[in-house]
């Protein structure tokens, strides 16, 4: 552990029993560092939510260029949940009130962040008992920095209590706000066909890659790229038009809503430039490598920064302002088109895969029962019967400490064989998509028999793409709806479900992990542990690892563990799912009970003698 919180250090503690100059113990340093990371992650997601709230406010007051409220139904649903009247009021009036309410949550000093009431009742009660309901989003992040200053909080359990509070501002605060408003402004996702991988770049078009996280500019670039004036401008430059693609979560935002292809996930950002085919890479915030500018200098690619919060030395800066969003988007596209003539040799890999994305929780509800009787009942029933053994959320980043996508895909494929339904977001979803696991037919022969039956009956892929990383809030909503539907206990910690981030690397991932634990989930991270130590061991360096596992499980029913070996990750996931099934009194998973459906049933039918076929058909 290394503490560099003050100028007396840095203090490097390399063995048990050592202390920093101020006397800080290894567990205090572990806890401080983890809390600071969680605060940074929560700040990143929540600041994204804040910007969305300001955009909603501006749209409601007619102060933006190009935006409209696309999903009035979601606006009304959210407004009602938040206690905002909707009767005889225009969408703009409702949106204005919702924006004001959401903006106020960031600077709120006392009380509870309003969106936390969307958790299951029992969970909210638990949070209140332990006094961890966040008071205001910014307040908890500021307090995290205060507590970790030299000479402040020096009790690892107490520091971790604030880690829970800070992480909750993200998952049940800033991230829910970001997702709500993105859906209201740009539309709630529903299944849509798309493509993924570097093969989506085109040799005869101007390639513009949008990269980062916020959907405000990228969605306007989608609109601008289809504008006849821009297409004509591209044609005048010798191209067929503008080919828009995405990287990271910006890719997910425009993939799940408009089917815009994703060029790849986090570790594809440099590779996209190496094709020589990218005229402009347009970045906003988060997960943008500083290396891009250096790499781009060997090609013709123009890196364009657009956020007032992020500049990169050597990049062009075109600052985005929602009040003139469409003009900015067109200006960026013209810059890319002007750069087309500078293109040199191009090497675009042929790799690409089809996918279906866009499984919002609203759509999941609909797909399971239709408009007439939409509900989570069929999903709960499938878990209760054992057709689906459990649910795993396989999410998070790429990390060059392992081969790109390897850990994601190993874990995903192994769990599918075991009848575990997978939901994914972020770079994890793009990894599975590259493998072809996000289409209705591809990959079904590789999934367990019960899960296959469910996928065939509903017509869904075995891996459901729920959106970007802030959309992990959708997973919280899905889990809450599963609890409310009944049959799987009365709180999230009783559901046979596990969260995994096999290739995590960002501080946002740590914030996500901890709000999932606070919500009752078992969370497994791959790669390396930022706190070191191991649960169950006795050295002072193991105290924190033990506490965030067994300690948190005693309080919240969820726990966080770092397991580098993918085989062990899968084993731990299945053991947890089976433990939860047994605690609920559900039948043990038995794959031999299911699977008489789809192609398998047809094959058996074709091989039957005619007399048996008659019996099979007519009884």
Site for ligand BF8, rule CB under 6 A? 213, 248-249, 265-266, 287, 396-397, 426-427, 468-469, 506, 508-509
CB of 103 to ligand BF8, least distance (A): 23
Of the pair 426, 489, the CB lying nearest ligand BF8 is at: 426
Q: Which residue has the tokens 């972020």?
A: 426
- Helix, coil or strand: residue 422: strand
Exposed / middle / buried, residue 470 (Cβ in 10 Å: 0-12, 13-18, 19+): buried
Nearer to ligand BF8, 165 or 508 (CB): 508
Least distance (Å) between residue 552 CB and ligand BF8: 22
Least distance (Å) between residue 226 CB and ligand BF8: 25
What is the rounded CA–CA span in Å between residue 589 and residue 576?
13
Q: Kindly report the CA angle at 193 between 191 and 197, in degrees rounded to 5?
A: 125
Considering beta carbons, is residue 290 or 331 the nearer one to ligand BF8? 290
In whole angstroms, the minimum distance from the beta carbon of 509 to ligand BF8 comes to: 6
Show the tokens assigned to 322: 């929602």
What the block records as the tokens of 161 is 């209590």
In DSSP terms, 247 is beta-bridged to 211, 264
Give the residue among 358, 488, 379 at the shortest CA–CA distance from 424: 358
> Measured on CA atoms in the order 411, 253, 186, 311, is the torsion positive or negative?
positive
- Residue 247 three-state SS: strand
For residue 220, give the nearest of 306, 299, 99, 138 by alpha carbon. Answer: 306
Nearer to ligand BF8, 194 or 449 (CB): 194
* Of 33 and 265, CB closest to ligand BF8: 265
Closest CA to 482 of 393, 361, 358, 311: 361
Q: Shortest Cβ distance from residue 436 to ligand BF8 (Å)?
A: 20
Q: How far is the CB of 200 from ligand BF8 (least distance, A)?
A: 17
Angle between helices 26-60 and 175-186 (to 10 degrees): 30
In angstroms, give the least distance from the CB of 71 to ligand BF8: 22
Structure token digits, residue 376 = 């989570």
* CB-side neighbour CA atoms (13 Å) of 583: 16
CA torsion 248-251-253-257 (nearest 10°) is -150
Nearer to ligand BF8, 84 or 395 (CB): 395
* Residue closer to ligand BF8, measured from CB, 143 or 424: 424
CB burial readout 222-235, b (16+ within 10 A) else e: bbbbeeeebbebbe
CB of 44 to ligand BF8, least distance (A): 8
Nearer to ligand BF8 (CB atom), residue 303 or residue 495: 303
Q: Would you state the structure tokens that stand for residue 150, as one six-digit string?
A: 């030299």
- Closest CB to ligand BF8 among 248 and 586? 248
Nearer to ligand BF8, 230 or 501 (CB): 501
Q: Which is nearer to ligand BF8, 57 or 213 (CB)?
A: 213
Nearer to ligand BF8, 172 or 266 (CB): 266
Nearest to 60 by CA among 96, 111, 108: 96
Please check whether residue 437 is in contact with residue 452, taking contact to mean a CB–CB distance below 8 angstroms: no
Cβ-contact 496, 389 below 8 angstroms: yes
Closest to ligand BF8 by CB, 181 or 230: 181
Q: How far is the CB of 179 from ligand BF8 (least distance, A)?
A: 13
- Nearer Cβ to ligand BF8, position 285 or 492? 285
Strands (E), 401-440: 420-425
The residues, any chain, with a CB within 8 Å of residue 562's CB and separated by 6 or more, are 524, 525, 526, 527, 528, 529, 531, 545
Helix H, strand E, coil C: the string for 494-554 is HCCEEEEECCCCCHHHHHHHHHHHHCCCEEEECCCCCCCCCCCCCCHHHHHHHHHHHHHHH
Query: Cα separation of 222 and 244, whole Å?
Result: 7
Smallest gap from Cβ 286 to ligand BF8, in A, equals: 6
Angle at alpha carbon of residue 280, lines to 279 and 286, rounded to 5°: 150
Question: Minimum distance from CB of 550 to ligand BF8 (Å)?
Answer: 27
Kindly give the residue spans of alpha helices, DSSP state H, lying in 559-597.
566-583
State the nearest-atom distance from the C-beta of 530 to ligand BF8, in Å.
14
Least distance to ligand BF8, CB of residue 218, Å: 13
**Cβ of residue 215: shortest distance to ligand BF8, in angstroms?**
12
Distance in angstroms (rounded) separating the CA atoms of residues 63 and 391: 43
Question: Which CB, 3 or 511, lies closer to ligand BF8?
Answer: 511
For residue 266, the minimal CB distance to ligand BF8 (Å) is 4
- Picking from 498, 389, 410, 393, the residue whose alpha carbon sits closest to that of residue 454 is 389
């Amino acid at each position: 552990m290394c503490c560099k919180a003050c100028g007396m250090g840095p203090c490097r503690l390399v063995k048990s029993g050592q202390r920093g100059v101020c006397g800080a113990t290894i567990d205090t340093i572990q806890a401080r560092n983890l809390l600071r990371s969680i605060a940074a992650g929560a700040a990143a997601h929540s600041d994204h939510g804040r910007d969305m709230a300001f955009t909603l406010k501006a749209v409601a007051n007619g102060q933006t260029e190009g935006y409209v409220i696309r999903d009035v139904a979601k606006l009304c649903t959210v407004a009602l949940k938040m206690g905002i009247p909707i009767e005889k009021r225009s969408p703009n009036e409702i949106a204005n009130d919702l924006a004001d309410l959401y903006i106020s949550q960031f600077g709120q000093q006392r009380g509870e962040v309003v969106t936390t009431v969307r958790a299951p009742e029992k969970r909210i009660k638990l949070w209140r008992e332990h006094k961890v309901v966040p008071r205001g989003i910014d307040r908890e992040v500021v307090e995290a920095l205060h507590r970790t200053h030299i000479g402040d909080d020096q009790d690892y359990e107490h520091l971790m209590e604030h880690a829970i509070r800070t992480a909750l501002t993200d998952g049940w605060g800033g991230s829910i706000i970001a997702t709500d408003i993105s859906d209201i402004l740009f539309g709630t996702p529903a299944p849509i066909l798309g493509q993924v991988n570097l093969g989506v770049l085109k040799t005869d078009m101007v390639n513009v890659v949008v990269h980062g996280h916020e959907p405000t500019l990228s969605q306007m670039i989608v609109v601008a790229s289809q504008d006849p004036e821009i297409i004509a401008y591209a044609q005048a430059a010798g191209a067929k038009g503008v080919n828009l693609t995405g990287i990271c979560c910006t890719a997910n935002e425009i993939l799940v809503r408009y089917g815009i292809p994703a060029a790849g996930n986090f570790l594809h950002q440099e590779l996209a430039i190496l094709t020589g085919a990218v005229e402009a890479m347009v970045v906003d915030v988060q997960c943008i490598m500083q290396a891009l500018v250096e790499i781009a200098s060997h090609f013709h690619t123009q890196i364009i920064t657009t956020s007032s919060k992020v500049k990169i030395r050597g990049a062009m800066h075109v600052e985005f302002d929602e009040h003139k969003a469409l003009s900015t988007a067109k200006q960026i596209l013209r810059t890319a088109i002007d750069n087309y003539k500078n293109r040199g040799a191009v090497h675009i890999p042929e790799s690409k895969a089809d996918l279906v994305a866009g499984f919002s929780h609203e759509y999941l509800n609909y797909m399971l029962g239709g408009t007439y009787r939409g509900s989570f009942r069929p999903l709960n029933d499938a878990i209760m019967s054992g057709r689906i053994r459990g649910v795993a959320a396989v999410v998070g980043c790429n990390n060059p400490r392992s081969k790109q996508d390897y850990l994601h895909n190993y874990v995903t494929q192994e769990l599918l064989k075991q009848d575990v339904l997978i939901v994914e977001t972020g770079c994890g979803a793009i990894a599975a998509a590259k493998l072809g696991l996000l289409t209705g037919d591809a990959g079904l022969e590789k999934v367990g028999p019960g899960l296959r039956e469910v996928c065939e009956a509903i017509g869904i892929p075995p891996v459901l793409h729920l959106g970007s990383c802030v959309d992990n809030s959708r997973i919280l909503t899905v889990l809450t709806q599963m609890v409310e539907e009944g049959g799987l206990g009365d709180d999230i910690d009783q559901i046979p479900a596990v969260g995994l981030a096999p290739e995590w690397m960002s501080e946002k991932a740590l914030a996500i992990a901890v709000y999932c634990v606070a919500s009752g989930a078992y969370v497994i991270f791959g790669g390396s542990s930022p706190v070191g130590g191991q649960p169950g061991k006795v050295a002072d360096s193991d105290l924190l690892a033990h506490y965030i596992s067994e300690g948190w499980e005693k309080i919240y029913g969820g726990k966080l563990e770092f397991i580098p070996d993918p085989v062990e990750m899968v084993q731990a996931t299945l053991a947890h799912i089976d433990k939860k099934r047994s605690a609920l009194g559900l039948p043990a998973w038995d794959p031999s009970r299911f699977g008489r459906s789809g192609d398998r049933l047809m094959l058996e039918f074709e091989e039957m003698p005619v007399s048996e076929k008659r019996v099979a058909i007519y009884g």
